[in-house]
Structure 1
Amino acid sequence: MAEPVHIALSRQAHDRIADRRVDEAWFEEVWADPATRVLVMAGTRFRRSGGRVVWVSPEEAPEGTRVLLGDLGGVVHLAVVADPGLADEEWTGLRGIVADVDEEEAALVVHAVGIAEWLFATRHCARCGGTLEPRQLGHVLRCASCGREEFPRTDPAVIMVVVDGEAPHDRCLLGRHPAWPPGRYSTLAGFVEPGESIEQAVRREVLEEAGVHVGEVAYFGSQPWPLPRSLMIGCVARAESTEISVDGEEIEDARWFTREQMRSEAEAGTLVLPGGVSISRSLVEHWYGGPLPGSW
């Protein structure tokens, strides 16, 4: 049996204690407890100091929408989504911490950012345009006019390492976005369209972005990614053609890499691979067979 693949943010890092979201008496006790940890969100940004995410006590938290994240190690963690104007140069978004944040802490932050992004983007009732009011500690929005309830949405997106040939002589396909710094390459990815299966989405995205036809698609694992509200569905795809033709918009260049090419270029710094908690790193190293040097 193959060893399980580790994908950051995919194991249960905190207990969401969802049943407590409607327990007002319990929440008042938690809010009065100085041991409770609160992540203050200025819109979708938060403070970072000395390389660490800043958590405060409820007493130190500003006014805002209170969000129950859950229990980690016997400590209740919350978020307060406050006015975006609170942020200054010490505040950052999720991309500012993904390279080196502790995985357990990252799971809490991802939860908080996901809810904050949803609250930011969902201002009016989709049915009548009425005002939405938060309920269940930030996890439901209820229309004050028609009573319709709105819940957080997650958009499925596929992310794949495309493989040509048989190990150990196979190659993998990586591409780069036009806005990326020189040398940065990553796995291909894209959103699942309505009426489309995961396998169909993988084949369509690879063909659109790199001009490569894909046959077999195998599920690898998944990872929540709230930028703005995605669930990244990792796959290993088998190429049925090898000629590359990039679209020039989403993908500026794409290349086939052997393991030796990938290792030597990563060591030299001419190839910059995804890093941090990204599932892209897990996909690439799964194909490679172990850790690789360098990261974004």
Structure 2
Amino acid sequence: MNLLLPLAMAVALLVDRLFGEPPAWAHPVVGMGRYLGLFKLTKLPPALGFMAGALAWLVGAALVAFIALWLEGWVLILLKPWSSALGFVGTAVLTGLLLKPLLAWRMLADEAMAVDAALNESLQAGRARLSRLVSRDTAALTETEVREAAIETLAENLNDSVIAPLFWFAIAGLPGAAIYRFANTADAMWGYRDEREWCGKWAARADDLLSWLPARLTALMLLPPSLPALAREARRTPSPNSGWPMAAMALRLGLRLGKPGVYTLHADGRSAAPDDLHAARAVAWHALVAGSALIALLAWTLRS
């Protein structure tokens, strides 16, 4: 059984690479978004807003964990009558299929490259395509800034959409990966920095906590040339986590990346060129392979 989780991870990554995302009606992250969308965040006194947001988050996380545990249990029940070898392989395959919707490398890479393809048509097309990936206003971005933002998104979401779910799967099985994706989705939908901030404060802090180790692991897998420089650049972003993979990508490719008026990473780097999105995708893929292998080793070690 020590190899069950590593094999399930391999199945999930293979299915992701071959087939991409399941339809929306069968996608658990879509379901998480629908649950979170039931709550209309509003301006409340800090204590009341925090408690209301925390309660809604905890109920959602409990539901997600329960469903994941229930599905894991059914996999074991269905395959228990089979011989040990067939049961092991079947459990790994079914668990991998259940894990797959909780990670999304192919979609992430395809969306990043779609920005590059759109820029080849026109700057306006590139801005419009980028707006599907980022929350910032893209209307006034230059071609270079559009390309930089796409590279940043690729690096940041390498952690959020792939490495972190795999990490928590290694730690706590399917419920661990599911709770992480719920936390990350909640932060994306509730983590506002305006009058609604206290309603989403718990969600933002939960995501910060669960992403802390995976974000730094992702940064290390991107192989930046200098760890002191990585730590220095990562601290330039407002987020305690997203700056790590973005700074690692900037240093690895020698690029200057940033969000106008908010932060600049590797200010001495060069501007992003047309080929740099392809280079960033290749670097991210190699980091994914290395990170997955390391996490698989972690899963095997924890259950030895």
TM-score exceeds 0.5: no
Give 1 or 2: higher strand fraction: 1
* Higher percent of residues as helix: 2
TM-score (norm 1): 0.24
Higher relative contact order (CA 8 A, sep 6+): 2
Larger Rg: 1
